[in-house]
Chains A and B, each alone.
Chain A
């Protein structure tokens, strides 16, 4: 026996209550769950810990990162063993050499992946989807279930015209053939977007497709039994409902699963999300398969005074200073005794907001000590108040002090919790690997347990595990993963139920080309096993095992 996990609280992903037991693993597979008499070459004592299937993250943009980091750090540290990249109409293949810079522009806009990272971190040695898969497979620690992007299919077939018009019949047929090729090479499905835009703020190619084109591509998905992922107009409830209807029709017609993401809770309008969910239930009861994705983490707002933020739109003087100002005039207003007095007076009745702001980033050495603290704490250290600290830090940093206001949206725990456990909702939409310069997209699974299982009791730990393991594997038709079951691939996460969480957000420089990103460490995740080998331990970090596979399609 290669590996035996002893005495764990087994939560097998099926939703059944946890029970004490062992798990035996051989040749990358689970061979026994229960009492294991044999001794393993490696033995892991899991006493007091939860042993669950590895988590599956169905909405990520790790595409580029996988070219230089086959572990998609820090996903595995958070217990994630399978990721779905290629969402939102964008994948890195198939891609003709001529279109590389165009696609880099789109990735730069949507993922905030810097141009330099592509220059220094990427050897462009693929065009077809199969060549891309062969390329990333070489050094894979995490499992990858890759989507192929609709915008990319269009770019391949139509070139620049893909950003201007609908496709002709011949072009649509060419896209169908190309999609089939990608699915045969291992793509788990197709992603498209109705809302994303490129680096010149133009709609991405998929947005120029008409309904007939999407229908033709979905016919190919139907022949291969693969999924369609859609970014819908999530900020407009009426359009969201119309998209649910559209996906339901497509789903019934081509017998495919569809998923739309993200669906948010609008604190001022619970009725909106209720209406969307009601329509999903109605359509699914009428034979459709439509899965809205809901993220666990709340939305944070970040800002600096170098870019006008709407946070100040209700403060007449502040908004005027920012809206009509240049960095120099904003600095001057903050420095001028009279104007500063006026600004402070106007904003002082919102002191609660300023106190909770977190200083995220500064450029001077002297102020590094305050990064990560909230303004109330910094104010106390400096003997002033939070509002004056915000102004002082901005002056000291030439306006380059970055502030974060946490929990500004999608943050009603009862409402979000009831959605997350809803039987017609998929937990997802982490956007892992995207928005890397704005906020951390890692640790949403830890947050599910800390906030919605432990603190808010929205669901049991067994339900939470099921939601991010076997439910996700079922929806995405990922075979033999998501359960702790004999014969299944041994993707296993061992964690402490009392401690599992996402850590604080921080800024690191670990992107090729001296690029930065926001990340979070995990808490309480002790061991992560992928394909039967230990890929990560809390104590020892990452191992050299490379057992990640392309899953979900024929590799």
Chain B
């Protein structure tokens, strides 16, 4: 699971009317999970991946997503 990577990103609508970013993470066993990131987590992830656009996130590892989620702590 250590080499789980972001394989896709897309925009979605969060419950409370904000846009959110969904990143698809593929695990080494082939499983794919979708992780929603709010504005704060997304920005932290963009910074961690030195990305200019969401598509630059593809290929980055899941640890960066985990750390970005911690930045936002909890969205609700």
A residues lining the B interface (CB < 8 Å): 195-197, 201, 203, 231, 234-238, 262, 264, 266-269, 272, 299-303, 307-311, 313-316, 319-320, 323, 408-410, 435, 438-439
Contacts and interface: CB of A to CB of B under 8 A. Distances in A.
The 5 closest A-B pairs by CB, nearest first: A409-B13, A408-B13, A310-B19, A299-B13, A195-B76
Interface in B8-33: 10-22, 33
Contacts of A311: 11, 19
Given A308-B43, A314-B11, A323-B43, A435 B54 contact: no
B39 A310 contact: yes
A201 B73 CA distance: 8
Given A314-B53, A323-B46, A301 B36 contact: no
B63 interface: no
A302 to B, nearest CB: 5
A457 B55 CA distance: 38
A293 B13 CA distance: 18
Contact of A438 (B16, B20, B21, B39): B16
B14 A299 contact: yes
A308 B46 CA distance: 13
Interface residues of B, number: 29
B2 interface: no
B50 interface: no
A313 B12 contact: no
Nearest to B18: A301
A245 to B, nearest CB: 18
A104 B16 CA distance: 19
B75 to A, nearest CB: 8
Contacts of B10: 268
A439 B16 CA distance: 8
Contacts of A309: 18-19, 39
Contacts of A266: 12, 34
A195 B18 contact: no
A319 B52 contact: yes
B21 A301 contact: no
Given A308-B39, A311-B11, A408 B19 contact: yes
Contacts of B75: 195, 197, 235
Contacts of A320: 52
Contacts of B18: 301-303, 309-310
B76 A313 contact: no
A427 to B, nearest CB: 17
17 contacts: A195-B75, A236-B36, A264-B15, A267-B12, A268-B10, A269-B34, A300-B13, A301-B18, A303-B18, A308-B39, A308-B43, A311-B11, A314-B53, A314-B54, A323-B43, A410-B13, A438-B16
A273 to B, nearest CB: 12
Nearest to B74: A197
B38 to A, nearest CB: 8
